[in-house]
Amino acid sequence: METNFNDIQQLWQSQKATSFDLNALVEGLKKTEKKQKRELVGIAAITPVTLSFLFWAMPWKESQAILLSLIVIAVAMIWVGWLIFSSLVKPSDNSESFSNREYLKTQLEKLKFRYKIAGKYMYFYAFLLAAAINVAYFVLLAPLSDTIRITAHVGITVIIFVVMHFSIKKRIQKYDKTLKPIMEQLEKLLIEVKN
Amino acid sequence: MVYGPSQLIPKMKNSKELQFEGLYKIHKDKIHRLCLGFVKEKELANDLFQEILIKIWRHLDSFKGESEISTWIFRIAYNTALTFSDREKKKDEKQTEISANLDLSDPENYSQEQEILIQMLYEAINELPELDRVIATLLLENTPYKDIAEISGISENYVAVKVNRIKASLTQKLNPQPHGN
């Protein structure tokens, strides 16, 4: 016997989800919500805690150069923090208010932005950090011999750029595996929606 | 065993919990079917189901009543389903506190023939491109074209075109022609 579309609809709608303990579900949802809030607070607290520690540990009142270096570090950290925060694709991101097309567009833009942060902005961040630390070292290491000072300046600069370069490379490799397929899928979907 | 007051008095539910429970009861079957339409594996479908529920719960306070609540729920469900992947699932496993034993499998007894048809239907839906999958599952829920257009972000006319193709495709796949004809 042939199955027509009405039969298919009936068959589809005959499937029911098993009822389960709703109280446990709501409790689970509340716990998840609390956990995610705690994580967000933790992430938001890292920058101010680090900066407070630096201002506490460094003799910025005694030297304007050190104060300048701390300000540069603070600006760089806040800037990168803001970039990362604005590029995060939260699971909940506007999914409630956007149509598919708008949702896909914003998700795609955010994913592209994450690539841009890793590939471009993080090198500039490394440059700012290196510059600020070098300014601070210039003052702090003044009593030491020139050889030690030059070695320290070159060493810290190389370390910052090498560590940053490899972490960026690793990040981009990870994005190639995780974000790229999603981006390709989103692009495909967007083309389909536009048609 | 001595019970404390908190164990003797049932917890009062707040309005959000009551609203969520109401919505859950009305929409769980549709969301469940949507998940199975999007993800073949049952375990992954359960994860997707959980993720959708988390989003509905999280955004319930921000629902402004600008559209029907069912349209709002579907929009969340479909946008979540479209960007759901194995990797996303792995990432979110760390975030969820919901019991891992959440099993949505259907306890109803289908006839063998029905069971085969359901599997064929899932396979047919799974073979469709993502956008068509959205439209197909909404169509199977008797959703009006206007709402399908609103959820998917395409015009009503284009929905109509797609619907005809989808209907033909599903009907054909569920009625395979015997060889030799």
pLDDT in tens, A29-81: 777 777 777 877 877 788 889 889 988 888 888 888 999 999 999 999 999 88
Across A7-21, A115-129, B45-59, the highest mean pLDDT is recorded for A115-129
CA count, 13 A, side-chain hemisphere, B173: 20
Which among B36, B53, B79 is the top mutation candidate for probing chain A, defined by the most A β-carbons within 10 Å of its own β-carbon?
B79
Q: Which pLDDT does position B94 carry in this prediction? A: 46
Distance (Å) from the C-alpha of residue B2 to the closest C-alpha of chain A?
23
Beta-carbon separation of B106 and A178 below 8 A:
no
How many C-beta neighbours within 10 Å does residue B137 have?
Answer: 26
Instruction: Tell me which chain A residue has its CA closest to the CA of residue B111.
Output: A11
| Range with the poorest average pLDDT among A64-68, B111-115, B146-150 | B111-115
Share the mean pLDDT of chain A.
82
pLDDT at B1 over 50: no
Distance (Å) from the C-alpha of residue B76 to the closest C-alpha of chain A?
5
Q: What DSSP assignment string belongs to chain A?
A: ----HHHHHHHHHT--PPP--HHHHHHHHHHHHHHHHHHHHHHHHHHHHHHHHHHHHS-TTT-HHHHHHHHHHHHHHHHHHHHHHHH---TTTTTTT--HHHHHHHHHHHHHHHHHIIIIIHHHHHHHHHHHHHHHHHHHTTTS-HHHHHHHHHHHHHHHHHHHHHHHHHHHHHHHHHHHHHHHHHHHHHHHHH-
Residues 135-164 of chain A whose Cβ lies under 8 A from any Cβ of chain B:
none
pLDDT at B3 over 50: no
Beta-carbon separation of A33 and B121 below 8 A:
no
Pull the structure tokens for residue B17: 């919990």
pLDDT at A177 over 90: no
Residues 105-124 of chain A whose Cβ lies under 8 A from any Cβ of chain B:
107
Question: What phi, psi does B42 have (nearest 5°)?
Answer: -65, -40
Beta-carbon separation of B104 and A17 below 8 A:
yes
Beta-carbon separation of B171 and A3 below 8 A:
yes
Distance (Å) from the C-alpha of residue A107 to the closest C-alpha of chain B?
9
pLDDT at B34 over 80: yes
Residue among A110, A103, A72, A70 at smallest CA distance from A88: A110
What average pLDDT does the segment A111-140 reach? 90
Beta-carbon separation of B130 and A99 below 8 A:
no
Query: Is A35 part of the contact surface with chain B (CB cutoff 8 Å)?
Result: yes
pLDDT tens digits for range A9-20: 888 888 887 666
Distance (Å) from the C-alpha of residue A46 to the closest C-alpha of chain B?
20
Which among A12, A23, A104 is the top mutation candidate for probing chain B, defined by the most B β-carbons within 10 Å of its own β-carbon?
A12
Give residue A133's pLDDT band: very low, low, confident or very high (50, 70, 90).
very high
pLDDT at B48 over 50: yes
